[in-house]
Amino acid sequence: MSKFTGKRVVVTGAGRGIGLAIAKAFAAEGANLAIISRNPTSIGSAAKEINETYPDSTKFFALDVADFDAVQETGKAIIDELGGIDILINNAGVTRDGLLMRMKSEDWDTVLDTNLKGAFNLVKALQRPLMKGTDPRIINISSVIGLIGNAGQANYAASKAGLIGLTKSIARELAGRKVTCNAIAPGFITTDMTDELSDDIKQGIISKVPLATLGEVDDIANTTLFLASPEAKYITGQVLAVDGGMTM
């Protein structure tokens, strides 16, 4: 029996990359999951893949986290399906990179609506049932870019910095109900999001990382497991950079 056996866990953006790795890590520990992303085919096949190894562990929901009304409605369906919730991982995120000079208003809105408002929408939908959970946790996947900024990523940096402010405010608001809320700030992790970068840019990034390598999705999944564990019960409102030392 693991510390996560029977825990009810919701992970957004779990169709691939970091979110899928987080979902697999919780399933391996005996949790019951609801996983979310927009594309029904990819989130369905992610659930199928997890259930093949951990039978009946995972339900999937095709949902745009940026859509407030849809999130409230699906939130109810998730609670009905899982019978409650103990852990919420806000991981869904997108980039629409470009220098401010050329950034379109839609690029700003899409990134802020997904990365920041998406987390707000999920917390609004699930905070009441979370308060009734066992050792309840909210973990928001921010980014080192939210800490240090980046040329060409003003929208992304603002969304991820905003997520840190949201994290600290939730931590203060829900502390009285024993819900902890923390953020993880990944550095550069090998996923579809970073596969888009050219080899030159990747080498440039690696040269700034003291541990001299890109991170792996399991580095983030393992950190998420720790922050969700009973051992992390006295940690709230924190931002944990998992970045090979890039931002120390």
List interacting residues with ligand NAP (CB under 6 A): 12-13, 15-19, 36-39, 42, 63-66, 91-94, 114, 118, 141, 143, 186, 188-189, 191-194
Strand partners of residue 242: 186
How far apart are CB 82 and ligand NAP at their closest, in Å?
A: 18
Report residue 57: phi and psi, to 5°.
Answer: -80, -25
Residue with smaller CB distance to ligand NAP, 73 or 231 = 73
Q: With CA atoms as reference, report the closest residue to 160 among 69, 73, 247, 34.
A: 247
**C-beta separation of 31 from 8 below 8 A:** yes
Residue with smaller CB distance to ligand NAP, 176 or 210 = 210
User: Residue 182: which residues within 8 A CB-CB, separation 6 or more?
Assistant: 137, 138, 139, 140, 167, 171, 227, 232, 235, 236, 237, 238, 239, 240
How far apart are CB 16 and ligand NAP at their closest, in Å?
A: 5
Known catalytic residue at 156: yes
Q: With CA atoms as reference, report the closest residue to 65 among 96, 33, 92, 34.
A: 92
Distance between terminal CA atoms of the chain? 37
Q: Which of 4, 61, 156, 188 is catalytic?
A: 156
How far apart are CB 63 and ligand NAP at their closest, in Å?
A: 6
How far apart are CB 234 and ligand NAP at their closest, in Å?
A: 25
How far apart are CB 216 and ligand NAP at their closest, in Å?
A: 10
Q: With CA atoms as reference, report the closest residue to 37 among 58, 12, 20.
A: 12
**C-beta separation of 192 from 223 below 8 A:** no
Residue with smaller CB distance to ligand NAP, 16 or 24 = 16
- Distances in Å between the alpha carbon of 44 and those of 36, 88, 141? 9, 19, 22
Residue with smaller CB distance to ligand NAP, 103 or 148 = 148
Residue with smaller CB distance to ligand NAP, 7 or 160 = 160
Positions annotated as catalytic residues are 156
